[in-house]
Structure 1
Amino acid sequence: MIFQLIDSDREILETYCSSSSGKKDYIRCTVLLSLDQGKSAKELSEILGIDLSSIYNYVKSYHRSGLSGFISSNYLGFWSKLDSFELAALDKELHSHLHKNCQSIAYWIKENLGIDYAVKSLPSLMKRLGFSYKKTKKIPAKADKIIAKDIQVLIERLDSENAVLLYSDAVHPQWNTRSNYGWIPTGEEHEIKSISGRKRINLIGTVNIQNPSDILISESETVDSLSVREFLDKVEDAYLDKSKIYSVLDQASYFKSYLVQDWVYDPRIELIYLPTYSPNLNLIERLWKFMRKKIIDYEYYNTFQKFRANLLAFFEYIDDYEDELRTLLAPNFYIQFSKTNFY
């Protein structure tokens, strides 16, 4: 059997099939879509467990009544005022555009389908179509300032420029146990001792994008402009063999202060500031999370000295995690679009 859908019908039928709640509706749509993709009637009969006559009847129904007649026949009661064709159109609209409330959806139905649909009846219809009323998910508003292509171009230039690209940030791990997930027998609890201490360690660190285990860490009493300047001095000394040092930083005040920016007199050093509220663009944030998982989560230290010693030992023996870090710190980011390069 040679069967082919009209392009516009194919798109609507795919949408309707994905939103269909009934098994019979789903099978009827799947038959047409599968035949359109080149599968034989015999194959479909065996796969779907239906007889060949049903398959031929579905095709005849489509040719005789068109798509509207095919998907709306005898299946209107459950969906109230909208037939299956109209439901498919609504489902496509809801997947394409965010409607803030049911009033907006009722207005769209009236304008595009010519049907007055009661606003109070729409919540149940939305649930049947597979939609929930919930909060939108926030992502960094300025993620489009940097894209993977920009970063890749810069990485490709590093060898020719004898340069290094570093991601830097401060972190303040607190002396306390953090609860986290684990496989625990159902109905039981896995208890971990904790303390109420507020003491913390202040660290500034940097990670080399080309060598994730090349990590420089500095501890200080507090993180401010002066401690950042001292840390950048260490960075400069650590890469004396490099002609160029790119240091990626966030918008923290101690990174952008005049004391820090005036200090950067060495033409080898270029400070690159990320957009505000975009920790997803700073690779070292992943290192901090990894550190917490390995050292802080699930562990109890009865003294601050033990907590500090284990934390610093983690960075001292960071090479032990080289394989994990190479995967974790790969330059893959959640990005939207970009119009501006950052270098």
Structure 2
Amino acid sequence: MGKLTEAQLQAVKSYVEANICHSSLQVLSYINITFGLVYKSDSVIALLHRLGFVYKKTKLVASKANLEKQEVFIKEFREIERNLPDNEIILFGDGLHPRHNTESTYAWIEKGKEKEVLSNTGRVRININGAINPANPTEIVYHECDTIDAVSTIVWLKCIEAAYP
């Protein structure tokens, strides 16, 4: 006889369906925190199988932009751009970690179903702090670094300051 009630079993099933659970330990922790019950890892694996889940690779799908949000942003940006003083520019900046291919990993997924993971393209990861002038996209200020942290961000901001005194 299992420790979980039917309602609790459904809650566990809903949790696994709604999340990417790479390990049965994630589910074990969920059960312990949510219901105060202690399970062994092997028992959680058996429970997941009983609930109809199998351990298999996730499915990669291309991520897509939200066109409506983009249109709103562009409209707001154009208004800011129109009111910008002549001695000022706008820069878009961000830290990025380009990678050629997202790797599909294993997770607990209901048998007969797929769990999709948005994929980027990339093989090797590099770390770049970069800024671009949208009025002149050839104007780019960037700083490649081992890791993006406070120190590398300060170095990058000094690069921007040097480019736009």
TM-score by length of 1: 0.21
More helix by share: 1
Which structure features the higher share of strand residues? 2
- Higher RCO (Cα < 8 Å, 6 or more apart): 2
Of the two, which has the highest radius of gyration?
A: 1
